[in-house]
């Protein structure tokens, strides 16, 4: 049975509006941050499971994505996304009296890790109760990153004549994934423009602007490494068993930085773990959340 989420508005670090779907009405807060080019709808299955197990799940559209504000000055550096994550975490803490758990996929994981690591390194203490990183570590395969960003750039300006044409592009990019019968889900990731073309729901300046997240990977790696070293909160790394970005060597590197972290591989999943194997991913998250001391979000 599907749960009908409520829609809520939050304020990001730049005064920007962030839109969230809220699943559940009582329990510990869990913030869900999607990957680059995705929307809050990518978390529906996981959010429903969390709500049924006693948490309140907040699935956000990050800045420049979905129904959240596009940023007028094009501020889409990783630090900007991290600042939004910190702002949202603070708001949820104030409302509930508890730090939220953050579950972040790719870009969302980077945002969460930088936000938490920055706070701890500055001596302000944790802003999260725990963190789940979904197929992202400080060091990743740069060929895989180039493939992801290449797909995002390829039709960002030109767009598509039809939703079916966009579906063809996704199928070519993700040949391992079964093609859905309905295009309704894909429509949530597209916008129909006045010229009759369908374009992705996200601001193309994220991958091509002067302050985009397509920066020198060495700068990002150094920032994430410092953030990971600072982590004191419970941490879980969920890796796609067939990930193009995070290999076993990257997991070992991460565990050297965060020795107390737990890790799990989701069999049959690539970088988009939740979409590739939703049930196994949700089970891994619920098991981790349920073990947290004092959590009411256990299975």
Answer whether residue 12 shows pLDDT above 80: yes
Distance of alpha carbon 248 from alpha carbon 251, whole angstroms: 5
In Å, how far are 90, 101, 229 from 120, measured between CA atoms?
14, 15, 10
> Which parts of the chain are beta strand (E)?
6-11, 17-23, 29-33, 56-60, 101-105, 130-134, 190-192, 198-200, 235-240, 262-266
Q: How many CB atoms lie within 10 A of CB 69?
A: 18
Task: Tell me which DSSP letter residue 43 carries.
Answer: G
Q: Which of 127, 140, 130, 141 is nearest to 236 (CA)?
A: 130
Distance of alpha carbon 78 from alpha carbon 83, whole angstroms: 9
Of 181 and 17, the structure prediction assigns the larger pLDDT to: 17
Full-model pTM: 0.91
pLDDT in tens, 222-277: 999 999 999 999 999 999 887 888 999 999 999 999 999 999 988 878 777 876 66
pLDDT in tens, 17-66: 999 999 999 899 999 999 998 999 999 999 999 999 999 999 999 999 99
Rg of the chain in Å (alpha carbons): 18
pLDDT in tens, 81-123: 999 999 999 999 999 999 999 999 999 999 999 999 999 999 9
Q: Which of 78, 85, 115, 114 is nearest to 207 (CA)?
A: 78
């Amino acid at each position: 049975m599907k749960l009908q989420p409520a829609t809520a508005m939050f304020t990001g670090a730049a005064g920007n509006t962030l839109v969230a779907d809220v699943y559940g009405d009582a329990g510990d807060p869990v913030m869900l941050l999607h990957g680059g080019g995705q929307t809050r709808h990518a978390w529906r299955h996981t959010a429903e499971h969390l709500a049924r197990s006693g948490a309140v799940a907040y699935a956000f559209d990050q800045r420049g994505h979905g129904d959240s504000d596009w940023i007028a000055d094009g501020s889409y550096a990783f630090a900007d996304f991290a600042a939004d994550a910190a702002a949202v975490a603070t708001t949820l803490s104030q409302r509930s009296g508890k730090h939220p758990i953050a579950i972040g996929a790719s870009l969302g994981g980077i945002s969460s890790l930088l936000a938490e690591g920055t706070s701890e390194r500055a001596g302000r203490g944790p802003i999260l109760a725990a963190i789940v990183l979904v197929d992202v570590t400080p060091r990743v395969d740069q060929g895989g990153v180039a493939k992801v960003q290449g797909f995002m750039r390829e039709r960002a300006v030109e767009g598509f004549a039809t939703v079916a044409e966009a579906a063809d592009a996704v199928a070519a990019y993700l040949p391992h994934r079964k093609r859905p019968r309905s295009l309704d889900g894909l429509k949530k990731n597209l916008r129909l423009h006045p010229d009759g073309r369908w374009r992705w729901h996200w601001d193309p300046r994220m991958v091509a602007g002067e302050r985009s997240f397509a920066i020198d990977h060495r700068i990002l790696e150094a920032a994430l490494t410092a953030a990971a070293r600072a982590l004191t909160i419970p941490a879980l790394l969920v890796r796609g068993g067939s990930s193009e970005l995070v290999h076993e060597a990257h997991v070992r590197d991460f565990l050297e930085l965060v020795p107390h972290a737990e890790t799990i591989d989701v069999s049959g999943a690539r970088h988009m773990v939740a979409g590739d194997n939703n049930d196994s991913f949700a089970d891994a998250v619920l098991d981790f959340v349920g073990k947290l001391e004092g959590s009411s979000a256990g299975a």
